[in-house]
Amino acid sequence: MISQKQAEEEMVSRFNETEHEEKDEEKGEDDSIFSIKSILWHGGSVYDAWFSCASNQVAQVLLTLPYSFSQMGMLSGIILQVFYGVLGSWTAYLISVLYVEYRSRKEKENVSFKNHVIQWFEVLDGLLGPTWKAVGLAFNCTFLLFGSVIQLIACASNIYYINDKLDKRTWTYIFGACCATTVFIPSFHNYRIWSFLGLGMTTYTAWYLAIAAIVHGQVDGVTHSGPTKLVLYFTGATNILYTFGGHAVTVEIMHAMWKPQKFKYIYLFATLYVFTLTIPSATAVYWAFGDQLLTHSNAFALLPDSGWRDAAVILMLIHQFITFGFACTPLYFVWEKVVGMHDTKSIFLRALTRLPVVVPIWFLAIIFPFFGPINSAVGALLVSFTVYIIPSLAHMLTYRSASARQNAAEKPPFFIPSWTAMYAVNAFVVIWVLVVGFGLGGWASMTNFIRQVDTFGLFAKCYQCPQPVAVKHH
C-alpha cells in the first residue's frame, strides 16, 4: 500500500511535469511575443483563478440583489448572502477535491490531458460512472445555457437606460451578435486580462450603486415592508442562492491553472471580496428606494440619470460580454467534443464549430426577456443541483469505502476533524438546498415566473419599460 505522503508527492510531481511541458511548449511556439502573451493572454496562476472566480461570480446579479432585498427584507438579505456564500465556497472546495482525485487517478494510468480540457461531467464519469456523467452534463449545460441567456437579457436591459430609442428586444438582437464573438476565445487560459478588467468593472458599479443611493437619499414616503409574501420571500432567497453559484465553470478554471491542487480555498477568498461589493450596494439601494424595487428588478431603473450611471451601465455591458464568454466556453467545449473538433488547433475552425451554440441562447433571450424572475427560476431549478446537491452527493459517494478514504488524494481540511464530520456537513447541504432551495424556491420562483409571462407575454418587446417612453436629452 502506498503511503499518503508518497501518493501526494507523486501527484504533485505529475502536475509539475505537466506544467513544465505546457510552458515549454508555449516558449517553443513563439518566443518573440512570449512576454506579451503571458501578461495579457495566457494565465494559469493562483491570482488568475481568483480573478476568474470573483469576476464570474458577480455580474448582472449586482443589479438584482436590491430587488431581492425588497422581497425578503434587509436582515434576511444580508444573512442569506453570507450563508449561501459560505455554502457555495464549501461546494466549490468539494469540486476541487474531486477534480484532483480524478486527475491523479488518470495520471497514474498515464492519461495525458495535453489538448483536452477536463470538465465536471468527465470528473463525475471517472469517479462515479456514466449515470452521474449524464446527470452532471444535463444540469451543467442547462444552467450554463440559461446563464448565457440572462447575460443577453441583462445587456439589453442595461443599454436601454442610456439609449431608449431602440426597444429592449432590438438591443437583444444587437448584443447577441456582439456576444457571438466569444467563439474566438480558445479557453480559460485566455481570460487573464478579461477577468482582471471584469472585476474592476463590477467593483466600480457596486460602489456607484452604494454611493449614488446614499447621495440620492430616501425617496418620499419610502416603505420597507418586506417580507410580506412567502412567494416573494423565497423568490428573493433563490436569487441569492444563484448569486453564489458560479461553480458551473469551476473545473474549467482549475484545469487552466498550472497547479490545480492550489485551488482549494480560492473560491472562498473570491467570495469574501464579493461580499464587499454585494452587501453595501444592495443595502444602500434598498434603504433609498424600499418597496419601489418590487416592480424594478434592475437597480439602474431607479437611480437618477447621470454620467456616473452611464459609465456604470457601459462597464456592466462590457462585463456581461465577458461573463457571457465565461458561461458559454464550457458549452463550446462540450459541443466540440460531441462533433469531434476539441483537439483541433485552428482557432477559426473551432470558432465556426462553436457558432451553433450561440443561436439557441439568442433565441431564448428574445422569448423570455424577464430579467429578475429568470435569475430566481434558474437558481431554484438548476443551481440548487448543479452547484450544491450534486457536488455534495458526489463527494459522499466517491469516498464511501474505507479504501477510497485511505488512498484519497486530498484528506479532510484542517477545520473538519474527520470523514464523519465531512459527511454530516455534506448531508446538511443536500437536505437544506433540496427543501429550501429546490422545493420552496422552485415553487416561489416558478409562480413568479408564470405571473410575469401572463402579464407581459412571451417575446415581450420592452419588458418593464416606462409607458409612454420618455425621450431623454443628454
For the stretch 195-224, pLDDT in tens is: 888 899 999 999 999 999 999 999 998 899
- pTM here? 0.82
Q: Which of 86-90, 383-387, 426-430 has the lowest mean pLDDT?
A: 383-387
pLDDT of res. 426: 97
Q: Which of 37-41, 133-137, 337-341 has the lowest mean pLDDT?
A: 37-41
pLDDT of res. 392: 96
DSSP 180-226: GGGGG--SGGGGHHHHHHHHHHHHHHHHHHHHHHHHH-PPTT-----
Q: 3 or 447: which carries more pLDDT confidence?
A: 447
Neighbours of 103 (CB within 10 A): 25
- Separation of alpha carbons 179 and 283, rounded Å: 31
pLDDT of res. 425: 96
- Separation of alpha carbons 59 and 170, rounded Å: 22
pLDDT of res. 414: 87
Q: What is the mean pLDDT of residues 377-394?
A: 88
Q: 214 exposed, middle or buried (CB, 10 Å; 0-12, 13-18, 19+)?
A: middle
Asked if residue 192 has pLDDT above 80, the reply is: no
pLDDT of res. 377: 77
pLDDT band at 235 (very low <50, low <70, confident <90, very high): confident
Q: Nine-digit cell at 395? A: 463527494
Do residues 144 and 133 touch, judged by C-beta distance below 8 A? no
Q: Nine-digit cell at 400? A: 464511501
Do residues 46 and 193 touch, judged by C-beta distance below 8 A? no
Reference 149, options 299, 298, 324; nearest CA is 324
Q: 398 or 328: which carries more pLDDT confidence?
A: 398
Do residues 94 and 425 touch, judged by C-beta distance below 8 A? no
Tell me which range, 309-323, 368-382, 453-467, is most confidently predicted by mean pLDDT: 309-323
Q: 23 or 407: which carries more pLDDT confidence?
A: 407
Do residues 448 and 238 touch, judged by C-beta distance below 8 A? no
Q: Which domains does the chain have, with CATH numbers?
A: 43-456 (1.20.1740.10)
Tell the residue number behind the cell numbers 464587499, with chain if given. 276
- Separation of alpha carbons 15 and 79, rounded Å: 39
Asked if residue 465 has pLDDT above 70, the reply is: no
- Separation of alpha carbons 259 and 269, rounded Å: 17
Q: What is the mean pLDDT of residues 284-289?
A: 95
Which secondary-structure segment (H or E) carries 95?
Answer: helix 74-108
- Separation of alpha carbons 297 and 299, rounded Å: 6
| Rounded (5°) CA angle 6-10-13 | 140
Reference 88, options 68, 48, 127, 58; nearest CA is 58
Q: Which of 35-39, 48-52, 90-94, 363-367 has the lowest mean pLDDT?
A: 35-39
Do residues 287 and 65 touch, judged by C-beta distance below 8 A? no
Sign of the C-alpha dihedral computed for residues 327, 90, 115 and 50 taken in this order: positive
Asked if residue 96 has pLDDT above 90, the reply is: yes
Q: 192 or 442: which carries more pLDDT confidence?
A: 442
Helices (H), 224-346: 230-243, 250-255, 266-289, 307-339
